[in-house]
Amino acid sequence: MPSRSNKRVDPFYASGAWKKVRLQRIKLDGWRCTECGCACGGKKRGQPSPHVDHIKTRRQHPELALDINNLRTLCESCHNRRTRLDQLARPRIGLDGYPIETQPVAPARYRDPFREEK
């Protein structure tokens, strides 16, 4: 039994369809990070492994999960940075199960008490 069995792996990333489109994207990007331009040829070439990122997240746009135009090649550090930013952008969920409103609530329209209504 594998020792890391407690870590759940998303079955999406194990699918053949994903592996195929992922490799196509890496080849199109020339095995380079589209963010910082560093070479990501993988361990065989003594370079960092390429990561393929969803530009529009799978959570928000599941229909674009296998759309090659929604993918981009990133190096590990750029991908980690992007993932962290994405998690920060997630709405916080309150105890009642609804997202906590982070936008400032517009004040109720001020009514001039001296203005006569017709």
Output the smallest distance, CB 15 to Zn ion, in A: 25
Comparing CA positions, the residue from 62, 85, 66, 82 lying closest to residue 74 is 82
Task: In whole angstroms, give the CA distance from residue 54 to residue 86.
Answer: 11
- Which of 36, 55, 93, 100 binds Zn ion (CB under 5 A)? It is 36
By C-beta, is 20 or 27 nearer to Zn ion? 27
- Residue corresponding to tokens 């331009």: 37
- Which of 21, 26, 52, 78 binds Zn ion (CB under 5 A)? It is 78
Comparing CA positions, the residue from 69, 72, 68, 66 lying closest to residue 50 is 72
Output the smallest distance, CB 63 to Zn ion, in A: 27
Residue 75 makes contact with Zn ion by CB under 5 A: yes
The continuous run of DSSP H or E covering 23 comes out as helix 16-28
Task: In whole angstroms, give the CA distance from residue 91 to residue 101.
Answer: 8
Residue 33 makes contact with Zn ion by CB under 5 A: yes
Residue 80 makes contact with Zn ion by CB under 5 A: no
Output the smallest distance, CB 17 to Zn ion, in A: 25
Using CB under 5 A as the criterion, which residues of the chain lie in contact with Zn ion when the complex forms? 33, 35-36, 75, 78
